[in-house]
Structure 1
Amino acid sequence: MDTFAREADALAMAPLLNCLLREAAAPAGEPAAGRTVHRLRVTGRLLSVRTGHRPSAPELWTGGTWRPLRHPGLVDLTVQEMHAVTGRRNAALAAEMAAGRAVVEALLAARARTTAPDDPWLRSEQALVMGHPYHPAPKARRGGGPPGTWLRYAPEARARFPLVLLGVRQDALLDDGDTRALDALGQAPPGYRLLPAHPWQFGLTHRLPAVRAAFAQGRLVHLGHTPWNARATASVRTVHVPGRPERPGAAGDLFLKFSLEVRITNDVRRIRRHELRHVRRTDPLVTEAFRAMDRPAAWLSERGHRTVRGLDETFPVLVRDGLDDHVLPAATPLLAAALTEGFEGNPLDRLTDPLPWWSAYLGRVVPPVLDAYARHGVAVECHLQNTLIAVDPSGHPVQAVFRDTEGAKAVPATPREAAWRRLVYCLVVNNLTEIAHVLAHRFPRAAECLWPAARREFRRCAKEHGLPEIEALLAAATVPCKANLLSRWIDADGTDPRYVPVPNPLAVPAGFE
């Protein structure tokens, strides 16, 4: 097996192991010799994994010996357990797991032929080769075609590419909010307005009958491509459009979020009509919540969208604020998810004492999230991929920047209990637990001090806001955790995933505090 194949196996197995151990197994005995043993709850099979920041090197007990598993064997084991758990089969997800591992190998090979960008923020956005650490197939691109179709647009392959430029006839235009930035991306002919499109989406859809009819009828015209390159970001379908000097005459940078007819993690990444309506209702509430804060935190507003009538979900584009007008002077934004996966320039690589850094991270991330919920009734989806942490020249956190209205919840449009559950999962389980875990792995002697510091931050916020939910959270033995393996296995709607309880890291251990 060559280097890329071995690395792809390891990177694809880690998140699948995380899912299987969290959702379908229980510890079987104490850790020994750097390994832990787990018993699958329904089939009773024993699985041993090497401990570390991520579980690795799985071995299956055969009754007389431990047999090492590679990725195909781990997929087979997962399929057997989930069939036993649910009584259902899911050949499509099994195939997606295998395909996801092949994607990782293709990404590694392509990445080896590229040079890392100079911008530390862009390096962090394009660092997620493994991806979501608790998903059975985080890198699968179902419906996206063979690697030759999508590698040129992959953030993990450090992609930069021109956008397709379309013209929408004025009577076919659907425009809502502030979309003026789109008109500065090129020149539309008289009677038309400019509409950028992601070239991957355009390649997947331009031969569809409805799209061909729009071009034949003159509702859409093809205007070519931008003379400058957009940069792929971690979400794949959202690109960064730089300001000066790459785009002469531009007022500043911005992000553009597109539809994409590809299943990535839990959903086909098409922007649906109801999602556009949700953004237009919710983004002003979140924007106002952050504007009212006496904190350095920032929100990247999705200030408008544009699409074409009859192809509303095929070629919509959401206009999101760029970083230039939001990040503090002399601070460098970094994608929080990349802190746990690693990249050149990761400030965690420079730490000698994690506690001051962790305390600063808590102080920048936790208060604005709880402030927005307590004062304005909005729960931002503050998971690691939606959180940027800006650091000063020494690598110390000085500001949190949040993004993506799609997952934000507003009370009472969303029941308060559901909004709080989602917030707790995103903030505690997805965000803080992952950052604390990588710090504990790097600095084992400091591990027992991390969560007491987090409890102090939550208590301070509880005192400031009087939120009963915080006190209940600190007293709870478990917290809700999104079960991506189970949700995908039973084909749960992406907006209504299943949750499983996991131990609450914020709970006070017996005999302490």
Structure 2
Amino acid sequence: MPPTTPEAVPAHDGIGARADAYATAPLLNCLLREVARPVPGPGEPRVYRLPSGERLLRVRGGRRPAAPEVSTDGTWHRVGHAELVKLVAEELRAHTGLSNPELPAEMADSRDTVAALLTARARITPPEDPYRRSEQSLLTGHPYHPAPKARGGGPVAGWLPYAPEAYAAFPLVLLAVREDAVVEEGDVSALDAFGTAPPGYRLLPAHPWQLDLVGPALTDAFADGRLIRLGTAGFDTWPTAAIRTLYAPGHDLFVKFSLDVRITNDIRRLWRHDLLKLRRTDSAVAAAAASCETPGAWLSDRGYRTADFAFEALAVLVRDGLHDHVVPGATPLLAAALVEGFDGTPLDGLRDPAAWWTAYLRAVVPPALELFARHGVVVEAHLQNCLIAVDGAGQPVQALFRDAEGVKLLPEVSRTAGWERLMYCLVVNHLVEIAEALRERHPHLDPWPAVRTEFERQSRRLDLPEAAALLTAPTLPGKTNLLLRWTGADGADARYLPLPNPLRE
């Protein structure tokens, strides 16, 4: 039976088949990690028993499982994405005793989103800038989420113009908010260079998709003059992998907006409670990063501006750009894009994958562990919040971390909880995925001795007993996104299950 991983489905097989493959892989990953139980047996395909006890599931492939088949009576039959969604819902009801009609709809929406993106990509030339290509490359997205590409179920025309995966670029809408209604904190002066506000007003850039979503609630503010629409900016921005975070290359600045759409686990608003602690959190990380011995960098969330009558809905956050942080001559790339692959990825054509991997670990692991060990800072070092700067030969030379919203500080969280979060983000979500992407290209490479060596080195350098203990721990924490969404838990309420630890000797 031929492979049906997203990368293996030929373009001539049609967009529907390719969209099914892209959507099936992360859903299977969740099912196999969280609720299925392996049935002992040799080789491929691998067989699992599902929670109801009535079905067996078998799949092919490694980190991107594919070609699912189901048996209830000894006869195997293939299931497509739509049938797999139905099967998952039935099994989760059996496993939890709960129903959830929303999540199956999100799974279907995620698959249909991929189909729309593939259709759009067939008509668009990818951008020349390798950094932008990396940020806008993610057709699979989170490899362990059941609906990583869902866009809120709205019509394609409503979201496609703003989709990074379709290589979108667009101008911001410029609003002016009356000065007595402005709320801001931190250094947001860079926003004032985006346009000119009339006397008595301050400039407030807005994401056009968000403005479409919340526009009716702003009718009174426009009518009484608290808010004025000025038109659009005279330059384009483009969305990063985070969708609601845009890069303005001419200003070398990132701007992050609220977006009233559920993407993966959360409605993506800039929540008031996060904004109110932003400066304290970001200042702690920035100060810690500046004092680190290792060459990692922090893209600072400088501050935010909004209107008091639409505090969350119209908030815009200002984030450092790249030029002052990336080492000279290096090119930043999104770590998640190295896992998915994109035109120009340094993983293609590596002559010495072991040396590349060692350089990668030297860039990413030391700063993340130093921030924790010496400063009590837990950066959210997962694939979408980490950029890797590479030199002209494609060798990793620096890691850049971002997003103060996801940072945890000790002792606001316990040291145990902070370490668990760091190990999930840095090892399970990040290093495991990069290691497997490398091993797919170089099957004879064992990536884990180099990881053990780096953690041993950092344990000694930082006097970090948790790093030493990790090398003998039987398990690592794996986040349960499928069960989290099915049970309706808060998206920030991470729940973990134990996964085999590949760092263990």
Same fold (TM over 0.5): yes
Is the CA contact 1:53–1:441 (under 8 Å) kept in the aligned structure 2? no
Match of 2:7 in 1: none
Is the CA contact 2:372–2:378 (under 8 Å) kept in the aligned structure 1? yes
Is the CA contact 1:43–1:84 (under 8 Å) kept in the aligned structure 2? no
- From 204, 211, 228, the counterpart of 1:202: 211
- From 464, 468, 489, the counterpart of 2:461: 464
- 1:303 and 2:313 correspond: no
Match of 1:382 in 2: 381
Superposed displacement of residue 26, structure 1: 2.1
Aligned length: 494
Q: Matches of 2:160 and 2:42 in 1, distance apart?
A: 41
- 1:69 and 2:66 correspond: no
- From 92, 116, 136, the counterpart of 1:106: 116
Superposed displacement of residue 471, structure 1: 2.2
Q: Matches of 2:99 and 2:42 in 1, distance apart?
A: 33
Is the CA contact 2:168–2:239 (under 8 Å) kept in the aligned structure 1? yes
Quick one: which amino acid aligns to residue 231 of structure 2?
Answer: G
Match of 1:5 in 2: 16
- From 113, 120, 125, the counterpart of 2:130: 120
Superposed displacement of residue 137, structure 1: 0.3
Superposed displacement of residue 465, structure 1: 1.1
Is the CA contact 1:360–1:398 (under 8 Å) kept in the aligned structure 2? yes
Q: TM-score, normalised by structure 1?
A: 0.94
Q: Matches of 2:422 and 2:428 in 1, distance apart?
A: 10
Alignment of 1:152-191 (within 5 A): 152-191=161-200
Q: TM-score, normalised by structure 2?
A: 0.96
Quick one: which amino acid aligns to residue 504 of structure 1?
Answer: N
- 1:444 and 2:455 correspond: no
Q: Matches of 1:446 and 1:205 in 2, distance apart?
A: 51
Match of 2:39 in 1: 28
Superposed displacement of residue 302, structure 1: 0.2
Quick one: which amino acid aligns to residue 354 of structure 1?
Answer: P
Pairwise CA RMSD: 1.2
Any idea what the Cα deviations from partners look like across 1:321-350, whole Å, max 9, x if unmatched? Answer: 011111111101100001111100000012
- From 497, 500, 511, the counterpart of 2:497: 500
Match of 1:227 in 2: 234
Q: Matches of 2:397 and 2:495 in 1, distance apart?
A: 35
Q: Matches of 1:401 and 1:88 in 2, distance apart?
A: 41
Match of 1:214 in 2: 221
Superposed displacement of residue 2, structure 1: 5.8
Is the CA contact 1:482–1:500 (under 8 Å) kept in the aligned structure 2? yes
Q: Matches of 1:126 and 1:24 in 2, distance apart?
A: 32
Match of 2:90 in 1: 80
Q: Matches of 1:407 and 1:76 in 2, distance apart?
A: 33
Is the CA contact 1:31–1:37 (under 8 Å) kept in the aligned structure 2? no
Is the CA contact 1:53–1:437 (under 8 Å) kept in the aligned structure 2? yes
Q: Matches of 1:259 and 1:121 in 2, distance apart?
A: 24
Percent identity at matched positions?
59
Is the CA contact 2:386–2:402 (under 8 Å) kept in the aligned structure 1? yes
Deviates more, 1:413-422 or 1:4-13: 413-422
- Structure 2 spans left out of the alignment, 5+ residues: 1-11
Any idea what the Cα deviations from partners look like across 1:151-178, whole Å, max 9, x if unmatched? Answer: 0000000000010000011100001000
Match of 1:246 in 2: none
Is the CA contact 1:482–1:499 (under 8 Å) kept in the aligned structure 2? yes
Superposed displacement of residue 44, structure 1: 4.9
- From 25, 32, 35, the counterpart of 1:14: 25
Q: Matches of 1:194 and 1:68 in 2, distance apart?
A: 56
Match of 1:46 in 2: 56
Quick one: which amino acid aligns to residue 309 of structure 1?
Answer: D
Any idea what the Cα deviations from partners look like across 1:204-253, whole Å, max 9, x if unmatched? Answer: 11112xx111112211111100111101110000000012xxxxxxxx40
Q: Matches of 2:282 and 2:100 in 1, distance apart?
A: 37
Q: Secondary structure at the match of 1:261?
A: strand
1:427–1:44 Cα change, 3 Å: farther
Q: Secondary structure at the match of 1:327?
A: coil
Quick one: which amino acid aligns to residue 104 of structure 2?
Answer: A
Q: Matches of 2:372 and 2:164 in 1, distance apart?
A: 32
Deviates more, 1:126-135 or 1:350-359: 350-359
- Structure 1 spans left out of the alignment, 5+ residues: 244-251, 509-513
Q: Secondary structure at the match of 2:149?
A: coil
